[in-house]
Structure 1
Amino acid sequence: MLKINPKLIFTALLMSLFLFGFESQAQKTTKNPKEFLITNYGAKADGKTVNTIAIQKAIDAAFKNKGGQVIFPKGRFLSGSIVMKSNVGLYFEEEAVLLGSTNPKDYSNMAFVGRPISPKADDNSQMALILANKANNIAIKGKGTIDGQGLQLALNIDSLHHAGVAIDPKYNLRRNRPNETMRPKLFRFSQCDSVLIEGLKVGEASCWGLSFELCSNLTLDKLTIVNRSYWNNDGIDITDCKNVKVVNCDINAADDGICLKSYYPGYSNDSIYIANCTIKSSASAIKFGTASFGGFKNVVIKDIKVYDTFRSAIAIESVDGAIIENIDVSNIDAVNTGNAIFIRLGQRSGDKPGSIKNLSIKNINVQVPFGRPDINYDLRGPEVDFFHNPFPSSIVGIPGYKIENVSLENITISYPGRATKGMAYIPLSRLNQVPEAAKDYPEFSMFGELPAYGFYVRHVNGISFKNIKITLDDTDFRPAFVFDDVQNLKMTQIDLPKEKSSQVVLKAVTSSTLDEELVNQKLKIQNK
């Protein structure tokens, strides 16, 4: 019998208590003993003068004052890297714009000393327009705009490489662009506590947008994020942070919308609350595990609208040894989105695989189109480079390491159909043809052609489907569900297209409970 970890029952209550406590801290962050107007320190609002020194003088003055608010008045202020200090806030008045310099020399590469040793954290850029390292009680808010001018900045970095002035040793020849380590982010915050980012329009970086690493008590609220100037344009990246709230944000990103990463063994993203956000992405809307060395636990994701998104609405991945547990996803409405749900336990790196357990996914409505959902992006995610029929949702572990304890409830997915054996075909007698791909980069297309149109489930112990409706816009020769090496399967209230037989395929499935109406649509494949 499937049992959901009791911790999931109390997740919403725990998060509410956390948010109540953190709100008090966020309110403290906004208190401001003195204002420091950047124009009083020499900043020019002409959009041409590089104001890095003037803005930094204002920040430093507020810091020496034991706290204060640095004011950006109406105007366009050009700057290179500026460094936040403890007890300092930046406030942007209406029509105030901070422009990132397009000169690569204007960006700092801070050492960020004192971080735990990580095998991969330095594989992404340490540069940014706004930097913060071990700064506490800081805020960036207001009614203005922060624009990284990332396209021109990236092109200038590219030109310096080709001119032999600043060679990129990892230059991507295949994709004709500088490596992401050479391109500044918009924000780069490390080991900070009590951070509030609120109310602004931000984005257009040359790399990731808002990046937070090893931070605690972080709130991102009412942000409009448009980050689609260049490659690797994630919206928000949260790495091994604790007590995080991302709410009321509108995100349009050329790469992942909200991406949780874990670079540090022994650390994790813990107590993360993401709610009331709208996301458009040329990759995945909400994703965890591109880097998955530590862990992800006690995560609540709810009330999310996704549209025109190329890859997954929700992707949950552990491929570098991370422990993922106690994840609660609910109320997701995704239209024109390439994949609904992708859950993957693999072993790309590390001595042994991690684990994924105790996942609750409910109240999900996804419409998957036949064509590419992000066709209107100038910078589109890389095409799937093989012929394939439309991909199902997939929940896949590896031999000997099963995903555990997954509950899916109240889920509707509309698939396009139009699958044809002439495009790609895996007969049900050859389910072992689907590769394990244990060491591959995690992505919903990683297994190649899949033998189901609705859900493909492999190497799982404890999975429940309740009140699931799957529709087809056109015919599909594949069954709706394929289960391979699955224990403790339960399916109730399953609504499938009526014209097909053998909708549920079981191979090496033990301890299964299926609704009576599914029994006649079940096909058992014997172990070979």
Structure 2
Amino acid sequence: MKLNLSSLLATLSVLMLTGTNATYAESVAKSKPFSASAADKRYNIAEKGAVGDGKTLNTKTIQSIIDECAQNGGGTMVIPKGVFISGSLFLKPGVNIEIQQDAVLKGSTNINDYEKLNTRIEGHFEPWRAALINGDKVDHLRITGPGTLDGSGEPFYKLFYDTRNAVKGTKNLDVERPRLTLIQNSKDVKISGVKFLNSGFWNLHIYRCQNVTVENCRFVAPSGAVPNRGPSSDGIDVDSSQDITISGCFFSLGDDCIALKGSKGPFAMQDKDSPPVERVLIKDCIFEAGGGIVTFGSEATLVRDVEVKRCITRGPTILRLKLRPDTPQQYENIRMSDITMENGGVVFKVSPWTQYFDLKGQEPPKALVRNIKISNVRGTGGSFGEIWGHERAEIVDIYVKNMDVQLKTTDFKLGNVKDLKFKNVRVNGKKMSAPLAQAAN
């Protein structure tokens, strides 16, 4: 019997699929192998039956176009001018997306239009709702703008706040809300020029991916006071991924702008589903509103080799490290340079994070934060903020160099920190030396 290598590879890929349903896996198996010539094919969804009237639910039509594109060897699905309503869509290898000018792929407000499946969320897997766009093992994926992915978040925000007010102890995942995009288990991914708007939950979730570029995108969700804020509306969540570049992007959100994530709990270091977050470059971005330029956690274990440069913050914290007393954590090799504060917030927010704390009967684990350098910071802000950890957190080797800022207050909450150094730091026109560490609160 003659063995068809392409068929064999397709079958093996189905056997390895996780976090998707059987129908999705079976349809991937039927897809023809990706070919360079097929990549030039374009599939305009309006020409193939999708209706961009802002009313018609197009989930089945658009999914069939994705399936057709994959079965024909790949190509680009084009979303033209119009507002196309849809529930969960599942990309396949070789299928790219182009969202044209004045085009909107808008998420349905009916949660049942988002398939419930075993998915990665907040550092673990559980049955939860799929995103609007889902990609698993989609190497070389390209999603390009300048159009919009709109999560129709307002009714999901309202449901969350109403539930939280009515049911004491409501947690994030108790109220199902769809993410805008989940890309997982993929290499060589580029997302360029897309506007992410009003996601019901996280905007762009990147899980177990390598060599991902997100460039010239906008991430926007309500950032006012509760209830006029998008809960859990993170911009980009880099989860257990390596070699990630985020450049030229704009963030104005109700939660973290960029969050680096992994696992949580006392056994997190043994979690094989959560390799370290490594080699993340963030450059030339503007942070209008949100929790922080870059936040480590709240679910995170090993995060290392992170560089942020040539960025502007108009409120978000420059460096936010969440230290969970129930999780072994190691954050190291962090470089931030050429940061401009335009009526910004604080420089540091390094502190314990006890939301949903659970030691599972174990002894409190240790945490280590080391080798942080922040240099060339200019502008106006609130204060230096705070650096302190829980009882088993070691924080060492923080170097602040070439800073000239106007701050509303020189207050600086400093706890159990070793080797904090200042060089050429001026605050409100006066030279400032590194304060001495104090006893942890």
TM class, shorter-chain normalised?
0.7 to 0.9
User: % of aligned pairs identical?
Assistant: 25
- SS for the counterpart of 2:62 is helix
Note the C-alpha offset of 1:221.
Answer: 0.5
Instruction: Supply the distance in 1 between the matched residues of 2:235 and 2:260 (Cα, whole angstroms).
Output: 11
Query: What corresponds to 1:52 in structure 2?
Result: 59
Mapped pair 1:403 → 2:400: no
After TM superposition, the structure 1 = structure 2 runs for residues 20-419 of structure 1, keeping only pairs within 5 Å, are: 32-112=39-119, 120-122=123-125, 126-155=129-158, 173=167, 179=173, 181-228=175-222, 230-263=230-263, 265=269, 267-292=275-300, 294-309=301-316, 312-319=317-324, 320-344=327-351, 351-365=364-378, 367-369=380-382, 392-399=384-391, 401-417=393-409
Which consecutive unaligned segments of at least 5 residues does structure 2 have? 1-34, 223-228
Instruction: Supply the distance in 2 between the matched residues of 1:235 and 1:32 (Cα, whole angstroms).
Output: 30
Instruction: Supply the distance in 2 between the matched residues of 1:29 and 1:463 (Cα, whole angstroms).
Output: 54
Instruction: Supply the distance in 1 between the matched residues of 2:142 and 2:309 (Cα, whole angstroms).
Output: 25
Note the C-alpha offset of 1:61.
Answer: 1.3
* Change beyond 3 A, Cα 1:506–1:224: closer
* Change beyond 3 A, Cα 1:403–1:345: farther
* Change beyond 3 A, Cα 1:505–1:93: closer
Instruction: Supply the distance in 2 between the matched residues of 1:103 and 1:508 (Cα, whole angstroms).
Output: 52
Bigger relative contact order (CA 8 A; separation at least 6): 1
Note the C-alpha offset of 1:196.
Answer: 1.2
Deviation readout 1:368-419 (Å, 9 max, x if unpaired): 34xxxxxxxxxxxxxxxxxxxxx642222445642122211012342324xx
Mapped pair 1:462 → 2:419: yes
Q: 8 Å contact 2:118–2:126 — kept in the other structure?
A: no
Q: 8 Å contact 2:414–2:438 — kept in the other structure?
A: no
* Change beyond 3 A, Cα 1:93–1:508: closer
Note the C-alpha offset of 1:219.
Answer: 0.8
* Change beyond 3 A, Cα 1:199–1:282: closer
Query: What corresponds to 2:4 in structure 1?
Result: none
- Bigger-Rg structure (1/2): 1
Instruction: Give the root-mean-square deviation of aligned CA atoms.
Output: 3.2
Note the C-alpha offset of 1:345.
Answer: 6.9
Note the C-alpha offset of 1:214.
Answer: 1.4
Q: 8 Å contact 2:206–2:239 — kept in the other structure?
A: yes
* Change beyond 3 A, Cα 1:123–1:458: farther
Which consecutive unaligned segments of at least 5 residues does structure 1 have? 1-27, 163-167, 370-390, 418-452, 473-493, 497-502, 510-528
Note the C-alpha offset of 1:179.
Answer: 4.5
- SS for the counterpart of 1:41 is coil
Note the C-alpha offset of 1:323.
Answer: 1.4
Note the C-alpha offset of 1:316.
Answer: 2.5
Q: Name the amino acid aligned to 1:395.
A: I
Instruction: Supply the distance in 2 between the matched residues of 1:39 and 1:414 (Cα, whole angstroms).
Output: 53
Instruction: Supply the distance in 1 between the matched residues of 2:190 and 2:342 (Cα, whole angstroms).
Output: 31
* Change beyond 3 A, Cα 1:288–1:400: closer
Q: 8 Å contact 2:234–2:254 — kept in the other structure?
A: yes
Q: 8 Å contact 2:365–2:392 — kept in the other structure?
A: no
Q: 8 Å contact 1:318–1:324 — kept in the other structure?
A: no
* Change beyond 3 A, Cα 1:105–1:468: same
Moved more, 85-94 or 340-349: 340-349
Q: 8 Å contact 1:125–1:180 — kept in the other structure?
A: no
* Change beyond 3 A, Cα 1:237–1:119: closer
Q: Name the amino acid aligned to 2:141.
A: I
Note the C-alpha offset of 1:295.
Answer: 0.9
What's the TM-score, normalizing by structure 1?
0.66
Q: 8 Å contact 1:171–1:178 — kept in the other structure?
A: no
Instruction: Supply the distance in 2 between the matched residues of 1:129 and 1:30 (Cα, whole angstroms).
Output: 29
Q: 8 Å contact 2:396–2:418 — kept in the other structure?
A: yes
Q: Name the amino acid aligned to 2:298.
A: T
Q: 8 Å contact 2:420–2:434 — kept in the other structure?
A: no
Note the C-alpha offset of 1:342.
Answer: 2.3
Q: 8 Å contact 1:63–1:88 — kept in the other structure?
A: yes
Q: 8 Å contact 1:185–1:209 — kept in the other structure?
A: yes
Equivalenced residues, count: 383
Q: Name the amino acid aligned to 2:279.
A: S
Moved more, 399-408 or 42-51: 399-408
Instruction: Supply the distance in 2 between the matched residues of 1:219 and 1:272 (Cα, whole angstroms).
Output: 10
